[in-house]
Structure 1
Amino acid sequence: MRILIGQPKMEQHLEQFIQEIEANPTVDLILYPEGYCQVTHLDEVKELAKRFQTAVVMGYRNEQNVDRALIINKRGETLLDRAKTPETMPLFMPSTVKDDGHRYGYVLCREIFMGLDGLQSEENIQLIFNPIGVGMFSEEQYADWSGEAKKIAMQQRSIILGTSHADGSYRNCGFSIPIAYCFDETGEVVLLSKNDTRTRIVDTELKTVVVLEDSVSCR
Protein backbone atom coordinates (compact mmCIF):
# COMPACT_ATOMS: atom_id res chain seq x y z
CA MET A 1 0.00 0.00 0.00
CA ARG A 2 1.20 3.52 -0.85
CA ILE A 3 0.35 5.98 1.92
CA LEU A 4 0.80 9.74 1.63
CA ILE A 5 1.74 11.29 4.98
CA GLY A 6 1.01 15.02 5.00
CA GLN A 7 2.04 17.65 7.54
CA PRO A 8 -0.13 20.60 6.48
CA LYS A 9 -0.30 23.99 8.08
CA MET A 10 -3.50 24.62 10.00
CA GLU A 11 -6.05 26.04 7.59
CA GLN A 12 -9.76 26.79 7.47
CA HIS A 13 -10.27 25.12 4.12
CA LEU A 14 -8.67 22.14 2.35
CA GLU A 15 -6.04 23.81 0.16
CA GLN A 16 -3.14 21.44 0.82
CA PHE A 17 -5.32 18.32 0.96
CA ILE A 18 -6.92 19.12 -2.39
CA GLN A 19 -3.56 19.84 -4.03
CA GLU A 20 -2.02 16.63 -2.70
CA ILE A 21 -4.86 14.27 -3.57
CA GLU A 22 -5.04 15.74 -7.07
CA ALA A 23 -1.26 15.59 -7.58
CA ASN A 24 -0.90 12.01 -6.27
CA PRO A 25 -3.82 10.01 -7.70
CA THR A 26 -2.01 6.67 -7.42
CA VAL A 27 -1.66 6.64 -3.62
CA ASP A 28 -3.99 4.25 -1.78
CA LEU A 29 -4.46 6.27 1.41
CA ILE A 30 -3.79 9.78 2.74
CA LEU A 31 -2.93 10.34 6.41
CA TYR A 32 -3.46 13.87 7.78
CA PRO A 33 -3.34 15.29 11.32
CA GLU A 34 -5.92 15.61 14.07
CA GLY A 35 -8.28 18.55 13.66
CA TYR A 36 -7.23 19.36 10.09
CA CYS A 37 -10.72 19.41 8.60
CA GLN A 38 -13.74 21.46 9.66
CA VAL A 39 -17.09 19.68 9.77
CA THR A 40 -18.38 21.91 6.96
CA HIS A 41 -15.84 20.32 4.58
CA LEU A 42 -16.53 16.67 5.38
CA ASP A 43 -18.72 16.09 2.33
CA GLU A 44 -15.98 17.50 0.11
CA VAL A 45 -13.39 15.14 1.64
CA LYS A 46 -15.72 12.18 1.03
CA GLU A 47 -16.31 13.24 -2.57
CA LEU A 48 -12.56 13.61 -3.20
CA ALA A 49 -11.88 10.20 -1.64
CA LYS A 50 -14.48 8.64 -3.94
CA ARG A 51 -13.33 10.53 -7.05
CA PHE A 52 -9.67 9.58 -6.61
CA GLN A 53 -10.34 6.13 -5.10
CA THR A 54 -8.16 7.09 -2.12
CA ALA A 55 -8.89 6.27 1.52
CA VAL A 56 -8.50 9.15 3.99
CA VAL A 57 -7.47 9.05 7.65
CA MET A 58 -7.48 12.32 9.63
CA GLY A 59 -9.23 14.17 12.41
CA TYR A 60 -11.87 16.87 12.12
CA ARG A 61 -13.62 19.40 14.34
CA ASN A 62 -17.39 19.39 14.73
CA GLU A 63 -19.81 22.28 15.25
CA GLN A 64 -18.78 22.54 18.92
CA ASN A 65 -15.08 22.69 17.93
CA VAL A 66 -14.53 19.23 19.43
CA ASP A 67 -12.00 16.94 17.77
CA ARG A 68 -13.20 13.68 16.25
CA ALA A 69 -11.51 10.67 14.66
CA LEU A 70 -12.24 9.98 10.99
CA ILE A 71 -11.60 7.19 8.48
CA ILE A 72 -13.14 7.33 5.00
CA ASN A 73 -12.65 4.48 2.53
CA LYS A 74 -11.91 4.80 -1.17
CA ARG A 75 -15.63 4.69 -1.97
CA GLY A 76 -16.24 7.81 0.12
CA GLU A 77 -17.92 5.85 2.92
CA THR A 78 -17.31 6.73 6.57
CA LEU A 79 -15.78 3.78 8.45
CA LEU A 80 -15.03 5.60 11.70
CA ASP A 81 -16.36 8.81 13.24
CA ARG A 82 -15.98 9.14 17.00
CA ALA A 83 -15.05 11.71 19.64
CA LYS A 84 -11.54 12.30 20.96
CA THR A 85 -10.95 11.74 24.67
CA PRO A 86 -11.94 14.94 26.53
CA GLU A 87 -9.10 16.55 28.51
CA THR A 88 -10.83 15.79 31.82
CA MET A 89 -11.41 12.08 31.21
CA PRO A 90 -9.24 8.93 31.17
CA LEU A 91 -7.94 8.10 27.70
CA PHE A 92 -10.34 6.26 25.40
CA MET A 93 -9.34 2.87 24.09
CA PRO A 94 -8.15 2.84 20.45
CA SER A 95 -10.61 2.04 17.67
CA THR A 96 -10.41 -0.66 15.01
CA VAL A 97 -12.26 -0.94 11.70
CA LYS A 98 -12.32 -3.38 8.81
CA ASP A 99 -12.29 -2.51 5.12
CA ASP A 100 -11.70 -4.68 2.05
CA GLY A 101 -10.09 -7.45 4.04
CA HIS A 102 -7.83 -5.15 6.05
CA ARG A 103 -8.10 -4.24 9.72
CA TYR A 104 -6.98 -0.79 10.82
CA GLY A 105 -6.25 0.60 14.25
CA TYR A 106 -6.76 4.27 15.14
CA VAL A 107 -5.44 6.24 18.10
CA LEU A 108 -6.22 9.97 18.07
CA CYS A 109 -3.29 12.09 19.29
CA ARG A 110 -2.42 11.33 22.96
CA GLU A 111 -4.62 8.21 22.91
CA ILE A 112 -1.45 6.54 21.63
CA PHE A 113 -0.56 6.03 25.27
CA MET A 114 -3.44 3.54 25.54
CA GLY A 115 -2.29 1.67 22.45
CA LEU A 116 -0.38 -1.09 24.22
CA ASP A 117 -3.48 -2.04 26.21
CA GLY A 118 -6.28 -1.06 23.87
CA LEU A 119 -5.04 -2.70 20.67
CA GLN A 120 -4.26 -6.13 22.09
CA SER A 121 -6.30 -8.63 20.12
CA GLU A 122 -6.12 -12.05 18.57
CA GLU A 123 -7.12 -10.50 15.25
CA ASN A 124 -4.29 -9.16 13.12
CA ILE A 125 -4.13 -5.38 12.57
CA GLN A 126 -2.30 -4.43 9.38
CA LEU A 127 -2.01 -0.66 9.92
CA ILE A 128 -2.33 1.61 12.96
CA PHE A 129 -2.83 5.36 12.49
CA ASN A 130 -2.01 8.19 14.89
CA PRO A 131 -3.21 11.61 13.70
CA ILE A 132 -1.62 14.23 16.00
CA GLY A 133 -2.71 17.84 16.44
CA VAL A 134 0.23 20.16 16.96
CA GLY A 135 3.90 19.26 17.18
CA MET A 136 5.73 17.99 20.24
CA PHE A 137 6.30 20.51 23.04
CA SER A 138 9.75 19.18 24.02
CA GLU A 139 12.53 16.85 22.91
CA GLU A 140 11.48 14.53 25.74
CA GLN A 141 7.92 14.33 24.45
CA TYR A 142 9.22 13.64 20.95
CA ALA A 143 11.27 10.72 22.30
CA ASP A 144 8.37 9.42 24.44
CA TRP A 145 5.88 9.62 21.56
CA SER A 146 8.05 7.91 18.96
CA GLY A 147 9.14 5.35 21.54
CA GLU A 148 5.55 4.47 22.36
CA ALA A 149 4.74 4.07 18.67
CA LYS A 150 7.67 1.69 18.27
CA LYS A 151 6.48 -0.42 21.21
CA ILE A 152 2.99 -0.69 19.73
CA ALA A 153 4.36 -1.73 16.33
CA MET A 154 6.45 -4.48 17.93
CA GLN A 155 3.66 -5.72 20.21
CA GLN A 156 1.03 -5.82 17.47
CA ARG A 157 3.38 -6.83 14.66
CA SER A 158 1.75 -3.99 12.75
CA ILE A 159 2.89 -0.95 10.80
CA ILE A 160 2.14 2.27 12.68
CA LEU A 161 2.11 5.74 11.14
CA GLY A 162 1.58 9.20 12.62
CA THR A 163 1.69 12.86 11.65
CA SER A 164 1.17 16.33 13.12
CA HIS A 165 0.52 19.75 11.65
CA ALA A 166 3.46 21.75 10.37
CA ASP A 167 2.63 24.66 12.68
CA GLY A 168 1.03 25.31 16.05
CA SER A 169 2.17 24.60 19.60
CA TYR A 170 0.47 22.81 22.47
CA ARG A 171 -1.70 25.35 24.31
CA ASN A 172 0.30 28.09 22.59
CA CYS A 173 3.39 27.28 24.65
CA GLY A 174 5.53 28.75 21.87
CA PHE A 175 7.54 25.58 21.19
CA SER A 176 6.69 23.00 18.55
CA ILE A 177 8.47 20.06 16.93
CA PRO A 178 6.44 18.83 13.93
CA ILE A 179 6.58 15.03 13.78
CA ALA A 180 5.84 12.34 11.21
CA TYR A 181 6.72 8.69 11.63
CA CYS A 182 6.34 5.14 10.39
CA PHE A 183 7.60 2.01 12.16
CA ASP A 184 7.33 -1.43 10.57
CA GLU A 185 6.11 -4.67 12.16
CA THR A 186 9.47 -5.26 13.87
CA GLY A 187 9.76 -1.73 15.26
CA GLU A 188 12.31 -0.68 12.67
CA VAL A 189 12.17 2.93 11.50
CA VAL A 190 10.77 3.46 8.03
CA LEU A 191 10.30 7.20 8.66
CA LEU A 192 11.05 9.35 11.69
CA SER A 193 10.85 13.05 10.88
CA LYS A 194 11.57 15.97 13.21
CA ASN A 195 11.16 19.61 12.13
CA ASP A 196 10.89 18.53 8.49
CA THR A 197 7.38 19.08 7.18
CA ARG A 198 7.75 17.80 3.63
CA THR A 199 5.09 15.38 2.46
CA ARG A 200 6.13 11.74 2.15
CA ILE A 201 4.78 8.69 0.37
CA VAL A 202 5.46 5.46 2.24
CA ASP A 203 5.28 2.10 0.47
CA THR A 204 4.33 -0.31 3.27
CA GLU A 205 5.32 -3.40 1.30
CA LEU A 206 8.73 -2.22 0.10
CA LYS A 207 9.37 -0.20 3.31
CA THR A 208 10.51 2.76 1.22
CA VAL A 209 9.85 6.50 1.55
CA VAL A 210 9.63 9.07 -1.24
CA VAL A 211 9.94 12.71 -0.20
CA LEU A 212 7.92 15.20 -2.23
CA GLU A 213 10.35 18.08 -2.39
CA ASP A 214 7.76 20.62 -3.54
CA SER A 215 5.44 19.92 -0.61
CA VAL A 216 2.90 22.68 -0.08
CA SER A 217 3.55 23.03 3.67
CA CYS A 218 7.18 23.91 3.01
CA ARG A 219 6.40 26.94 0.84
Structure 2
Amino acid sequence: MKILIGLPKLENQNRQLEEVLRGEPEVDLVLFPEGYLNEDLKLASTLMRSCGTMLVSGYRKPKDRLVIIGRNGEVVLDRAKYEQHGSVELEGVRMTSLLCDELVKQGLIGDGHTLDLIFHPIGVGMFSEEQFSEWIGLAKNIAKQHGAIMIGTSHADGAYRDSEISIPIAYCINQNGEEIFVKKNDVRMVILDTNTGSFHEYALVEGA
Protein backbone atom coordinates (compact mmCIF):
# COMPACT_ATOMS: atom_id res chain seq x y z
CA MET A 1 0.00 0.00 0.00
CA LYS A 2 1.24 3.49 -0.86
CA ILE A 3 0.43 6.02 1.86
CA LEU A 4 0.82 9.78 1.60
CA ILE A 5 1.64 11.36 4.98
CA GLY A 6 0.85 15.08 4.84
CA LEU A 7 1.77 18.04 7.03
CA PRO A 8 -0.66 20.67 5.69
CA LYS A 9 -1.21 24.14 7.04
CA LEU A 10 -4.36 24.86 9.01
CA GLU A 11 -7.07 26.07 6.65
CA ASN A 12 -10.84 26.45 6.44
CA GLN A 13 -11.17 24.57 3.17
CA ASN A 14 -9.75 21.26 1.99
CA ARG A 15 -7.65 22.83 -0.76
CA GLN A 16 -4.36 21.20 0.21
CA LEU A 17 -5.99 17.77 0.43
CA GLU A 18 -7.43 18.20 -3.05
CA GLU A 19 -4.05 19.34 -4.40
CA VAL A 20 -2.18 16.29 -3.13
CA LEU A 21 -4.92 13.96 -4.36
CA ARG A 22 -4.77 15.44 -7.85
CA GLY A 23 -0.97 15.54 -7.83
CA GLU A 24 -0.38 12.00 -6.51
CA PRO A 25 -3.07 9.78 -8.07
CA GLU A 26 -1.05 6.60 -7.47
CA VAL A 27 -1.35 6.69 -3.66
CA ASP A 28 -3.81 4.34 -2.00
CA LEU A 29 -4.37 6.26 1.24
CA VAL A 30 -3.78 9.77 2.57
CA LEU A 31 -3.09 10.54 6.25
CA PHE A 32 -3.83 14.13 7.28
CA PRO A 33 -3.83 15.61 10.82
CA GLU A 34 -6.49 15.79 13.50
CA GLY A 35 -9.05 18.53 12.84
CA TYR A 36 -7.86 19.26 9.31
CA LEU A 37 -11.26 18.60 7.74
CA ASN A 38 -12.99 21.09 10.07
CA GLU A 39 -16.69 20.20 9.73
CA ASP A 40 -16.72 19.51 5.99
CA LEU A 41 -16.92 15.71 6.00
CA LYS A 42 -19.19 15.66 2.94
CA LEU A 43 -16.60 17.45 0.82
CA ALA A 44 -13.89 15.04 1.94
CA SER A 45 -16.05 12.04 1.03
CA THR A 46 -16.72 13.52 -2.40
CA LEU A 47 -12.99 14.08 -2.95
CA MET A 48 -12.09 10.52 -1.99
CA ARG A 49 -14.76 9.07 -4.26
CA SER A 50 -13.64 11.30 -7.14
CA CYS A 51 -9.97 10.37 -6.74
CA GLY A 52 -10.45 6.74 -5.68
CA THR A 53 -8.28 7.18 -2.58
CA MET A 54 -8.72 6.29 1.10
CA LEU A 55 -8.36 8.89 3.87
CA VAL A 56 -7.53 8.91 7.57
CA SER A 57 -7.94 12.30 9.26
CA GLY A 58 -10.06 14.20 11.76
CA TYR A 59 -12.82 16.77 11.93
CA ARG A 60 -14.86 18.65 14.51
CA LYS A 61 -18.58 18.18 15.20
CA PRO A 62 -18.09 20.32 17.27
CA LYS A 63 -15.52 18.29 19.21
CA ASP A 64 -12.65 16.33 17.67
CA ARG A 65 -13.49 13.13 15.83
CA LEU A 66 -11.52 10.57 13.89
CA VAL A 67 -12.67 9.53 10.42
CA ILE A 68 -11.61 6.85 7.95
CA ILE A 69 -13.07 7.10 4.44
CA GLY A 70 -12.88 4.39 1.77
CA ARG A 71 -12.14 4.81 -1.92
CA ASN A 72 -15.84 5.01 -2.74
CA GLY A 73 -16.33 7.94 -0.38
CA GLU A 74 -18.02 5.83 2.29
CA VAL A 75 -17.22 6.70 5.91
CA VAL A 76 -16.12 3.36 7.39
CA LEU A 77 -15.07 4.62 10.83
CA ASP A 78 -16.22 7.76 12.63
CA ARG A 79 -15.73 8.14 16.36
CA ALA A 80 -15.26 10.79 19.00
CA LYS A 81 -11.97 11.37 20.74
CA TYR A 82 -11.39 9.09 23.76
CA GLU A 83 -14.01 6.56 22.61
CA GLN A 84 -13.29 2.86 22.03
CA HIS A 85 -10.98 2.80 19.03
CA GLY A 86 -12.26 -0.08 16.94
CA SER A 87 -10.64 -1.13 13.67
CA VAL A 88 -11.62 -1.66 10.05
CA GLU A 89 -10.30 -3.80 7.23
CA LEU A 90 -9.84 -2.13 3.87
CA GLU A 91 -8.45 -4.06 0.91
CA GLY A 92 -7.11 -6.79 3.17
CA VAL A 93 -5.38 -4.37 5.56
CA ARG A 94 -6.60 -4.12 9.17
CA MET A 95 -6.19 -0.58 10.50
CA THR A 96 -7.06 1.57 13.48
CA SER A 97 -6.12 5.01 14.76
CA LEU A 98 -5.20 7.00 17.82
CA LEU A 99 -6.26 10.64 17.80
CA CYS A 100 -3.61 13.10 19.01
CA ASP A 101 -3.21 12.99 22.82
CA GLU A 102 -5.04 9.67 23.11
CA LEU A 103 -1.46 8.43 22.73
CA VAL A 104 -0.60 9.61 26.24
CA LYS A 105 -4.01 9.68 27.91
CA GLN A 106 -5.22 6.17 27.16
CA GLY A 107 -2.94 4.41 24.71
CA LEU A 108 -4.37 2.07 22.10
CA ILE A 109 -7.60 0.33 23.11
CA GLY A 110 -7.69 -2.68 20.81
CA ASP A 111 -10.73 -4.64 19.69
CA GLY A 112 -9.09 -8.06 19.56
CA HIS A 113 -8.08 -7.96 15.90
CA THR A 114 -4.50 -8.36 14.73
CA LEU A 115 -3.49 -4.99 13.29
CA ASP A 116 -1.45 -4.10 10.23
CA LEU A 117 -1.51 -0.29 10.48
CA ILE A 118 -2.00 2.16 13.34
CA PHE A 119 -2.54 5.77 12.32
CA HIS A 120 -2.00 8.79 14.55
CA PRO A 121 -3.46 12.09 13.30
CA ILE A 122 -2.04 14.84 15.55
CA GLY A 123 -3.43 18.39 15.76
CA VAL A 124 -0.72 21.01 16.05
CA GLY A 125 3.00 20.49 16.51
CA MET A 126 4.79 19.48 19.70
CA PHE A 127 5.22 22.22 22.33
CA SER A 128 8.65 21.06 23.51
CA GLU A 129 11.57 18.81 22.60
CA GLU A 130 10.67 16.67 25.61
CA GLN A 131 7.13 16.12 24.31
CA PHE A 132 8.51 15.24 20.88
CA SER A 133 10.78 12.56 22.36
CA GLU A 134 8.03 11.25 24.64
CA TRP A 135 5.51 10.80 21.83
CA ILE A 136 8.00 9.07 19.53
CA GLY A 137 8.94 6.74 22.37
CA LEU A 138 5.31 5.86 23.08
CA ALA A 139 4.66 5.26 19.39
CA LYS A 140 7.59 2.84 19.24
CA ASN A 141 6.22 0.91 22.22
CA ILE A 142 2.72 0.66 20.73
CA ALA A 143 3.99 -0.41 17.30
CA LYS A 144 6.13 -3.14 18.85
CA GLN A 145 3.40 -4.27 21.24
CA HIS A 146 0.86 -4.71 18.45
CA GLY A 147 3.27 -5.81 15.73
CA ALA A 148 1.95 -3.11 13.41
CA ILE A 149 3.33 -0.18 11.43
CA MET A 150 2.46 3.09 13.20
CA ILE A 151 2.31 6.39 11.31
CA GLY A 152 1.65 9.86 12.72
CA THR A 153 1.52 13.42 11.42
CA SER A 154 0.63 16.95 12.57
CA HIS A 155 -0.18 20.23 10.87
CA ALA A 156 2.73 22.29 9.61
CA ASP A 157 1.67 25.24 11.76
CA GLY A 158 -0.28 26.10 14.88
CA ALA A 159 0.50 26.00 18.58
CA TYR A 160 -1.04 24.25 21.56
CA ARG A 161 -3.01 26.64 23.77
CA ASP A 162 -0.68 29.40 24.98
CA SER A 163 2.57 27.72 23.94
CA GLU A 164 4.90 29.81 21.79
CA ILE A 165 6.50 26.65 20.38
CA SER A 166 5.10 24.41 17.65
CA ILE A 167 7.35 21.65 16.36
CA PRO A 168 5.80 19.92 13.32
CA ILE A 169 6.06 16.15 13.65
CA ALA A 170 5.62 13.17 11.35
CA TYR A 171 6.88 9.65 11.86
CA CYS A 172 6.68 6.03 10.80
CA ILE A 173 7.63 3.15 13.08
CA ASN A 174 7.84 -0.45 11.88
CA GLN A 175 6.40 -3.59 13.49
CA ASN A 176 9.53 -4.05 15.61
CA GLY A 177 9.37 -0.56 17.10
CA GLU A 178 12.17 0.75 14.84
CA GLU A 179 12.16 4.06 13.03
CA ILE A 180 11.44 4.11 9.31
CA PHE A 181 11.50 7.90 9.48
CA VAL A 182 11.03 10.62 12.08
CA LYS A 183 10.53 14.22 10.93
CA LYS A 184 10.98 17.25 13.17
CA ASN A 185 10.54 20.80 11.84
CA ASP A 186 10.42 19.32 8.35
CA VAL A 187 7.04 19.86 6.68
CA ARG A 188 7.75 17.99 3.46
CA MET A 189 5.17 15.33 2.77
CA VAL A 190 6.12 11.67 2.51
CA ILE A 191 4.94 8.83 0.30
CA LEU A 192 5.55 5.49 2.01
CA ASP A 193 5.35 2.04 0.43
CA THR A 194 4.35 -0.25 3.29
CA ASN A 195 5.31 -3.35 1.31
CA THR A 196 8.96 -2.37 0.99
CA GLY A 197 9.41 0.23 3.74
CA SER A 198 10.78 2.67 1.18
CA PHE A 199 9.70 6.31 1.13
CA HIS A 200 10.40 9.63 -0.51
CA GLU A 201 9.79 13.20 0.62
CA TYR A 202 8.58 16.19 -1.34
CA ALA A 203 7.29 19.69 -0.74
CA LEU A 204 3.61 20.47 -1.10
CA VAL A 205 2.82 22.08 -4.43
CA GLU A 206 3.50 25.79 -4.70
CA GLY A 207 0.70 27.94 -3.40
CA ALA A 208 -0.30 25.60 -0.59
- Does the TM-score normalized on the shorter chain lie above 0.5? yes
Structure 2 partner of 1:115: 107
Distance 1:218 1:156, change over 3 A: farther
Structure 1 partner of 2:67: 70
Q: % of aligned pairs identical?
A: 44
Structure 2 partner of 1:95: 86
Q: TM-score if structure 2 supplies the norm length?
A: 0.94
Q: How many equivalent pairs are there?
A: 207
Structure 2 partner of 1:148: 138
Deviation per CA, 1:170-214: give whole Å up to 9, x if none: 1031111100000011112111000000111011111111111x3
| 1:140 partner SS | helix
1:81 to 71, 78, 81: 78
Distance 1:192 1:74, change over 3 A: same
Structure 2 partner of 1:42: 41
| 1:172 partner SS | coil
Counterparts of 1:165 and 1:216, CA distance in 2: 16
1:206 aligns with 2:205: no
Return the offset for 1:94: 3.0
Distance 1:139 1:184, change over 3 A: same
2:163 to 163, 170, 173: 173
Return the offset for 1:217: 8.3
Return the offset for 1:104: 0.7
Counterparts of 1:93 and 1:147, CA distance in 2: 23
Contact 1:29 1:56 in 2 (8 A): yes
Counterparts of 1:205 and 1:173, CA distance in 2: 39
Deviation per CA, 1:148-173: give whole Å up to 9, x if none: 00011111110000000000111031
Structure 2 partner of 1:28: 28
Unmatched tracts of structure 1, length 5 or more: 86-91
Question: Greater helix percent: which structure?
Answer: 1
Q: TM-score if structure 1 supplies the norm length?
A: 0.89
Return the offset for 1:115: 2.9
Structure 1 partner of 2:4: 4
Contact 1:135 1:165 in 2 (8 A): yes
1:135 aligns with 2:125: yes
Return the offset for 1:60: 0.6
Letter in 2 for 1:119: G
1:189 aligns with 2:188: no
Unmatched tracts of structure 2, length 5 or more: none
